[in-house]
């Protein structure tokens, strides 16, 4: 356990034998950002009938180039009559195409004189026509399981008349902060104390990843109280996340408490920032095995580790492949650096030039410099034992997508 573990080994240990949380039925209007538990099959064709893509005139394409009588007016929501050859119909966007018509000419290209309309020559068949089922075919897969329900997906469900959907329950997370020096915002600071920046930051990230922070508390720097708090948290959550207390100092009690009442799977990673990170499991009285993630206390380390570990952990619990890994953007470094035996995740801003994406590193990459995370677009993943020069290709993990 004393050797530094790889990030890949840590993820494998964290996700081993992990089953998704159960599903629940919710109203579609309340399902935004939730993860589909089951595949949704289309009930209807979309569009449900051939219709006009714009305001104009419907006709048979062989009647193009002629002066035609306007035989009817078709608004959206109305039922048209069959169109006689040698005539046209005034039609509006979304209105059903009348039987006998096979194209639509936009109104700007038609000369109207009373009840007659002069059509331009050579109007192709299907011009400005949206055919039935051209978007969705009844019986086909509308949305895949594991998909996050964003605005477009919710609109897709509504187009089928669907009002309820099966989604994964939000994983319950207990978020614990250790350290007698940590004070909640709004309270006065005594000498040697600092405000708790990790709790609001991690709560927001966890909710962004699809979790529900169901329990939140502070742990004093005491071994017995730490064990009691971890045991209490395990009864109320699917995942217990702590910040601080996982290093080797005399006041770092979290790792020892985990080993005393649960199981430590992995500790100390070949990762910068974030080396003192612990992964394990806690038992619950109902027989459940609760995952444990012990994040470092430094806020930048917690921020980076949350993206690297908490996001894929929530992805596994939600059976959402999109959360399994961050999108990788091939980029070029606008900085020089060298790494030691740990993989370095540098906070970078991204820009574009003719060569592609350029990564600009924040000047101070210290693990306590939270300002480096505020405007970061990505994490530049620099392999261990690397010498990066300005202009070298690097991979950046995109943070702005979810």
pLDDT in tens, 49-81: 999 999 999 999 999 999 999 999 999 999 999
> Using one digit for the tens of pLDDT, what is the confidence trace for 356-372?
999 999 999 988 899 99
> Using one digit for the tens of pLDDT, what is the confidence trace for 257-297?
999 999 999 888 999 998 888 999 999 999 999 999 999 98
Q: State percent of the chain over pLDDT 70.
A: 98
Give me the mean pLDDT over the 34-52 stretch.
97
- Phi first, then psi, for residue 116 (nearest 5°) are -125, 155
Residue 402 has pLDDT above 70, yes or no: no
Fold annotation for 328-398: Beta-clip (2.40.340)
> Using one digit for the tens of pLDDT, what is the confidence trace for 180-236?
788 888 989 989 888 989 999 999 999 999 999 999 998 888 889 999 999 999 999
Average pLDDT of the chain is 94
Query: Cβ distance 383 to 343 under 8 Å?
Result: yes
Query: Does 51-130 carry CATH code 2.170.190.11?
Result: yes
Residue 251 has pLDDT above 60, yes or no: no
pTM of the predicted model, to two decimals?
A: 0.90
Residue 401 has pLDDT above 70, yes or no: yes
pLDDT of residue 247: 63
Instruction: Describe the crossing of helices 254-261 and 223-236 by its angle, rounded to 10 degrees.
Output: 60
pLDDT of residue 368: 83
- Measured from the Cβ of residue 229, the count of other Cβ atoms closer than 10 Å reads 24
What is 174-207 written as a DSSP string?
A: EEEEE-TTEE-TTSPPPTT-EE--HHHHHHHHHH
Q: State percent of the chain over pLDDT 90.
A: 85
User: What torsion do the CA atoms of 156, 160, 165, 171 make, to the nearest 10 degrees?
Assistant: 0
- Phi first, then psi, for residue 249 (nearest 5°) are -75, 165
Task: Name the more confident of 15 and 254.
Answer: 15
Task: Name the more confident of 42 and 369.
Answer: 42
Calpha distance 241→211 (Å, rounded)? 12
Give me the mean pLDDT over the 86-100 stretch.
98
Reported as a pLDDT band with limits 50, 70 and 90, residue 1 is very low
Domain spans, the chain: 7-21+170-323, 23-46+134-168, 51-130, 328-398
pLDDT of residue 282: 97
Report whether the peptide linkage leading into residue 273 is cis, meaning its omega lies within 30 degrees of zero.
Answer: yes
Fold annotation for 7-21+170-323: Molybdenum Cofactor Biosythetic Enzyme; Chain A (3.40.980)
Q: Which CATH class is domain 23-46+134-168?
A: alpha beta
Between 27-31, 42-46, 164-168, 245-249, the lowest mean confidence (pLDDT) is in 245-249
User: What torsion do the CA atoms of 266, 271, 272, 274 make, to the nearest 10 degrees?
Assistant: -20
């Amino acid at each position: 356990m004393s050797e530094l573990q790889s990030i890949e080994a840590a993820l494998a240990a964290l996700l081993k034998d992990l089953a998704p949380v159960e599903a629940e039925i919710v109203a579609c209007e309340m399902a935004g950002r939730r993860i589909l538990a089951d595949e949704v099959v289309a009930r209807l064709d979309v569009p449900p009938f051939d219709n006009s893509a714009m305001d104009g005139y419907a006709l048979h394409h062989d009647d193009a180039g002629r002066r035609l009588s306007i035989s009817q007016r078709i608004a959206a929501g109305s039922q048209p009559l069959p169109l006689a050859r040698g005539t046209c119909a005034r039609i509006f966007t979304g209105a059903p195409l009348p039987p006998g018509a096979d194209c639509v000419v936009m109104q700007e290209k038609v000369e109207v004189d009373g009840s007659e309309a002069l059509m331009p020559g050579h109007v192709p068949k299907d011009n400005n026509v949206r055919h039935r089922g051209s978007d969705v075919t009844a019986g086909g897969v509308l949305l895949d399981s594991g998909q996050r329900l964003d605005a477009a997906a919710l609109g897709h469900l509504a187009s089928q008349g669907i009002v309820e959907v099966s989604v994964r329950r939000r994983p319950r997370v207990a978020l614990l902060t250790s350290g007698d020096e940590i004070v909640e915002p709004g309270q006065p600071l005594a000498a040697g104390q600092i405000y708790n920046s990790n709790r609001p930051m991690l709560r927001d990230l966890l909710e962004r990843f699809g979790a529900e922070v169901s329990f939140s508390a502070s742990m004093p720097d005491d071994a017995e109280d730490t064990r009691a708090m971890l045991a209490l948290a395990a009864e109320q959550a699917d995942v217990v996340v702590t910040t601080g207390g996982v290093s080797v100092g005399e006041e770092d009690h979290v790792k020892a408490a985990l080993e005393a009442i649960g199981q430590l799977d992995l500790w100390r990673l070949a990762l910068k920032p974030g080396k003192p990170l612990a992964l394990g499991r806690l038992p619950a009285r109902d027989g459940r095995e609760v995952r444990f993630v012990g994040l470092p206390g430094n806020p930048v380390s917690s921020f980076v580790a949350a993206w690297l570990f908490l996001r894929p952990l929530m992805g596994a619990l939600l059976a959402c492949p999109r959360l399994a890994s961050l999108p990788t953007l091939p980029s070029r470094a606008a900085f020089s650096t060298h790494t030691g035996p740990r993989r370095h995740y540098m906070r970078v801003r991204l820009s574009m030039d003719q060569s592609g994406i350029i990564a600009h590193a924040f000047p101070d990459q210290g693990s306590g410099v939270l300002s480096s995370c505020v405007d970061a677009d990505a994490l530049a993943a620099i392999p261990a034992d690397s010498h990066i020069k300005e202009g070298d290709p690097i991979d950046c993990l995109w943070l702005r997508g979810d």
